[in-house]
Chains A and B, each alone.
Chain A
Amino acid sequence: MKKATIQLESLACPSCVLKIENAMKSLKGVDKESVKVLFNSSKAKFDFDEEEVSLKEAEDAITALGYEVKKAQAKDK
Chain B
Amino acid sequence: MQRFILSKKNQITLIGGILIIIGFASELIYKNEIIALWSLAIASVLGLAPIAIQAYQALKVKVVSIEVLVTIAVVGAFLIRNLEESAIVTFLFLFGAYLEQRTLNKTRSAIKELTEMAPESALKLMENGEFEEVEVDEVDVGDVLLVKTGAKIPVDGTVLTGEGYINEASITGESLPLSKEKGLGVYAGTILENGTLQIVAERVGEDTTFGKIIELVEEAQDSKSEAERFINKFSKYYTPAVLVLAIVVWLFSRDIELAITILVLGCPGALVIGVPVSNVAGIGNGAQHGVLLKGSEVIHDFSRVDTMVFDKTGTLTIGNPKVADKRMYGGNTDEVLAYLVSVEKESDHPLAKAVIEYIGETKTYIVEKTDVVKGGGIVAYVEGHRVAVGNVALMEEEQVHLNEQAHEDIKKLEANGNSLVLTSVDGELKVLMGIRDRVRPGVKEDLQKLKKLGVKNLVVLSGDNQGTVDLVASELGLTEAHGHMLPENKAAYVEDLIAKGQVVAFIGDGVNDSPSLAIAQIGIAMGSGTDVAIETSDVVLMNSDFSRLPHALGLTKATANNMRQNIFIAVGVVLFLLASVFFSEWMNMSIGMLVHEGSILVVILNGMRLLRYKLKY
Please report A residues at the B interface, Cβ cutoff 8 Å: 10, 12-15, 18-19, 22-23, 26, 38-41, 43, 63, 65-66, 68, 73
In the complex the two chains form, what is the Cα distance from A23 to B58 in whole Å? 9
The number of residue pairs between A and B whose CB atoms lie closer than 8 Å in the complex comes to: 71
Interface residues on B, range: 35 or more
Task: Mark B271-289 against chain A: 1 for CB-CB distance below 8 A, else 0.
Answer: 0110010011000000000
Chain A, Cβ-Cβ closest to B239: A15
Chain B residues whose CB sits within 8 angstroms of the CB of A26 once the complex forms: 61
Q: Are B3 and A63 in contact (CB under 8 A)?
A: yes
B213 CB to nearest A CB, Å: 14
A68 CB to nearest B CB, Å: 8
Chain A, Cβ-Cβ closest to B68: A15
Q: Are A73 and B137 in contact (CB under 8 A)?
A: yes
Chain A residues whose CB sits within 8 angstroms of the CB of B115 once the complex forms: 41
- Is B63 interfacial (CB-CB < 8 Å)? yes
Chain B residues whose CB sits within 8 angstroms of the CB of A38 once the complex forms: 218-219, 221-222
Chain A residues whose CB sits within 8 angstroms of the CB of B273 once the complex forms: 13-14
Q: Are A15 and B65 in contact (CB under 8 A)?
A: yes
Chain B residues whose CB sits within 8 angstroms of the CB of A73 once the complex forms: 137
Q: Are A13 and B108 in contact (CB under 8 A)?
A: no
Q: Are B272 and A40 in contact (CB under 8 A)?
A: no
In the complex the two chains form, what is the Cα distance from A43 to B104 in whole Å? 15
B13 CB to nearest A CB, Å: 13
Q: Are B100 and A41 in contact (CB under 8 A)?
A: no
B7 CB to nearest A CB, Å: 8
Chain B residues whose CB sits within 8 angstroms of the CB of A10 once the complex forms: 101, 104-105, 108
- Is B2 interfacial (CB-CB < 8 Å)? yes
**What are some 26 contacts across the A-B interface (CB < 8 A)?**
A10-B104, A10-B108, A13-B66, A14-B235, A14-B273, A15-B63, A18-B58, A18-B65, A19-B57, A19-B61, A19-B63, A19-B65, A26-B61, A38-B221, A38-B222, A39-B276, A40-B276, A40-B280, A41-B108, A41-B115, A43-B218, A65-B57, A66-B6, A66-B57, A68-B7, A73-B137
Q: Are A41 and B2 in contact (CB under 8 A)?
A: no
Please report B residues at the A interface, Cβ cutoff 8 Å: 2-3, 6-7, 53-54, 57-58, 61-63, 65-67, 97, 100-101, 104-105, 108, 111, 115, 137, 218-219, 221-222, 232, 235-236, 272-273, 276, 279-280
Chain B residues whose CB sits within 8 angstroms of the CB of A13 once the complex forms: 65-66, 97, 100, 272-273
Query: A13-B97, A40-B280, A41-B115 are known contacts; what are 11 more A-B pairs with Cβ within 8 Å?
Result: A13-B65, A13-B100, A15-B272, A18-B58, A18-B61, A19-B61, A39-B276, A40-B222, A41-B218, A63-B3, A65-B57
Q: Are A15 and B276 in contact (CB under 8 A)?
A: no
Chain A, Cβ-Cβ closest to B228: A14
Q: Are A40 and B108 in contact (CB under 8 A)?
A: yes
In the complex the two chains form, what is the Cα distance from A2 to B258 in whole Å? 51
In the complex the two chains form, what is the Cα distance from A11 to B49 in whole Å? 19
In the complex the two chains form, what is the Cα distance from A22 to B61 in whole Å? 6
In the complex the two chains form, what is the Cα distance from A41 to B280 in whole Å? 9
